[in-house]
A and B are shown apart, each in its own frame.
Chain A
Amino acid sequence: MGNIGVWKFIGRRLLLGLATLLVVSIVVFAATQLLPSDPARAILGRDATEQSVNALREELGLDRPAVEQYWDWLTRLVSGDPGESFNARLPIMDYIGDRVLNSLFLLVLASVISIPLSLLIGAYSARKRDTAFDHVSSNVMLALASLPEFVIGMFLVVLFSTIVWQVLPAVTVIASGEGPWNHLDQMILPTAVLVLGAVPYIARTARASIIEVNESDYVEMARLKGAPEEVVLWRHAVPNALGPVFQVIALNVAYFAGGVIVVEFLFNYPGIGGALAASVRVRDIPVIQFLVMVLAALYVTVNLAADLATVLVTPRLRTRLK
């Protein structure tokens, strides 16, 4: 690539991303401050004396001014130390590091399967526009898109794990310290739910985008030059159709981060979804803050990647960068 403009673009967008994260950190911090109950009381329980609650508040640093607390938290977060869980009294990374990794693995697995799959379906439906395949796939997509994940998930459990066939585990049992990659059979259903949730959106966008490009003058021109259909599709249509598709992929990967919470609950998967829910219940503020920041960072990264990919496949945008 060697194009200095592209690097400048990346640099600029990274800075913007960091600025976004900074704003998110302020919002997250402020929001946790506004939570109605006192974490010290939540930890010690309703019967604790006022004295012990105050002592704990002091120990956790909750008696200091909010700005000071924020600054302290932010500087430690930037230096790679998200702090200690109020509840477990353990460094956060020790406490939920595994879970972050587990969720990330699920997310990557779902992305790696859903993206190529939906592009293929989209491209094929576009090419077979208005044929039986196109109509059937369109309707199936629409049905899938209109079902919430937990419905799809329960349906899959009924089908593959319980009533119809018993071929796949209905819940995941992954001990801490054990990677989910050692239990791939247990990954199938959670991944399938996420994939089925995302494929309709990406495939429909890909189909629409490729059809639009297919009607373009340059695709007609390619046919009139005698290009074989495969070349027309993969060389002339697809590269020009990718821009909008990248954006929808980014939205879906970001959506996985949210969908993960439902799916994890459904399959009892040890990921951040469970951790987040538990932390909110016990007002484990450092853990909540950390997890929200992780999700925010994921959103920013994914969107940055999509914008960059769009620029790279669009010469008109790329050559404008100087």
Chain B
Amino acid sequence: MTQAVRIEGLRLEAVASGHDIVDEVELTIAPGEVLGLVGESGSGKTTVGLAVLGHTRRGVRVASGRVFIGDTDMLALPERELREARGKLVSYVPQDPSTALNPAMRIGRQVVEVLEFHDFGGSDEARRARTAEVMHEVLLPSTPDFLRRYPHQLSGGQQQRVGLAMAFANRPKVIVLDEPTTGLDVSTQAHVLATVRNLTASHGVAALYVTHDLAVVANLAHRIAVMYAGRVVELGPTAGVFDDPGHPYARYLMAAAPDLGGEREMVGLPGRAPSPGKRPVGCAFALRCELATEECHVAFPPPIEMRPGRMVRCVRPGAVPDRTKAPPVVASSSTVSEKPVLSLRDVTVSYAEKQVVHDINFDLSPGECLVLVGESGSGKTTLSRSIGGLHHEWVGTISLDGKALAHSSRDRSVDERLRVQYIFQNPYSSLNPRRPIGASVARPLMIAGVDEKEADRRVGEMLERVSLTAAHARRYPDQLSGGERQRAAIARGLAADPEVLVCDEVTSALDVLVQASIVELLAALRRDLGLSMLFVTHNLPLVRSMADRIAVMMEGRICEFGPAHDIIERPQQEYTRRLIADTPKITVNGHKDHPDA
């Protein structure tokens, strides 16, 4: 079969240092095929995706290799021909449509424009007709009124559909999708994925789908390529890779993937992939791999054909690291009989005088983990911020151990403030960049009036509790990885010796393996310290193994509430059912639902 895309020996370097960003990449994609390119942030997956369009970002250059689209080598084209190929032969769907659409141009214009660049149809009428048609294909209205809107007047899902419309407008042979559903909630994501699947299948378009989320590509991609530290370490049919990962890294990825069924615990892997310039001579994963031997540090293993069509770059393909053997879930033993530690009665929250959360009632028992799940805009974060005293516009009663809390954290007593701790979504902005980690962690201790020497000791203790070391206290946030920062933020929360931990989407800014390790940590803390947790998330599978009860929020109300198992297995509300159905699923060892199956 002739391949739509053929990448040969691709190496991209940093211009300044000559360090490899991506190396030894060999991939092919057949017409109509979707290839999932999976990797953590910094693995080089986006760089490869852009190279398919003959594009490199500032500071990156192509060192060697070829990228053929049909017979055209995109890396050898002169500028003019390259421009003609982009948007016509091969097109790109960006990661974040809210920044990739021109804010000063009407969306209709932005779609028509890509047709004009390539003189589609030869006339304005033909281009108008094609615009209407492609808008229809991506399930957007094509009324003049809609086409005259500006990007900020569209929802995130609609913006991404405009991105798809631009990409499909010229009926390209190849399309590169760069995490196009990041930041969209599960329902919108499901719709966008369905659109991509239909368009690629019906037009025979070859697609490179770049993502860090295995679950997203599980039901979309025909084959999967796993990247680590700039190299493709595993390549094969989706079902094969999922059922029986050949590379230990791929195994860890599978083990870290959240499981909605809740039949297995997630297993995380601390640490991070080495960045360009710090990569070792041998296998870059060896530093984190429990199976690594002498030989792994000597040289990067050559590709091994594990099975026909299955390529693995590991000296021990198919070996199973012990840690990835997922332990079965231990049934939660919390009892909901005791006096609640936190209770909400008729809580109604407004934002700028607009009521956004209505009549919330629930109790949180000591040691319980309550998961508040909902799509973006459902009011879950607003509610949790009210509990934490960070948002003041609410009425009703929020009480801690039977005593009503003041609206604002400023009006709460020191003791009350310490007992409810809030962990923020983004560890990149929740730690003061100008203070060492130790000072941030010590903050609640200072507020509690602990003397300095005792505080130092406790800080070290807290950091070790979250699997950092006492030495981290002297480092600054920018010297830590995202996962380490989130651990530090959790340590800060723990330092207050809290009863209730409010976790607001604490894993959404992190890579898959790190996500899993943070959830592992929180589960352990809860078990060991008897903490009560309110876990706010849009990612239901992620917290499935931890949740005692689940509250599903929709449009500011709790629409379904009950024991986690019941909600997942027997959702009563249509909304909950849809939320669960739209959540991409992976079933490790027993992969179903595959397009080829």
Residues on A lying within 8 angstroms of B by beta carbon are 215-218, 220-228, 231, 235-236, 239-240, 313-316, 319
Contacts and interface: CB of A to CB of B under 8 A. Distances in A.
B104 A217 contact: no
B99 A218 contact: yes
B100 A221 contact: yes
Contact of B113 (A223, A227, A319): A227
A239 B104 contact: yes
B209 interface: no
A315 B117 contact: no
> Chain B, interface size: which category?
20 to 34
A225 B86 contact: yes
Nearest to B109: A235
B487 to A, nearest CB: 31
A224 B55 contact: yes
A221 B104 contact: no
B150 A319 contact: yes
A225 B166 contact: yes
Interface string B91-115: 1101010011111110000000110
Contact of B104 (A224, A226, A315): A315
Contact of B103 (A222, A228, A240): A240
Contact of B101 (A215, A221, A226, A319): A221
B87 interface: yes
B5 to A, nearest CB: 16
Contacts, number: 78
B100 A315 contact: no
Contacts of B113: 225, 227, 231, 235
Contacts of A313: 104
B552 to A, nearest CB: 33
Residue of B99, B101, B104, B153 with most chain A CB atoms under a 10 A cut-off = B104
B458 interface: no
Contacts of A235: 105, 113
A226 B55 contact: no
A231 to B, nearest CB: 8
- Most chain A beta-carbon contacts within 10 A, residue among B55, B94, B102: B102
Nearest to B95: A217
Nearest to B163: A221
B53 interface: yes
Given A223-B86, A225-B114, A226-B88, A319 B153 contact: yes
B592 interface: no
Nearest to A237: B102
A225 B150 contact: no
A216 B92 contact: no
A240 B104 contact: yes
A224 B92 contact: yes
A316 B152 contact: yes
A227 B91 CA distance: 12
A215 B58 contact: yes
A236 B102 contact: yes
Interface string B51-91: 00101011000000000000000000000000111111001
A226 B114 contact: yes
B100 A217 contact: yes
A224 B86 contact: yes
Contacts of B58: 215
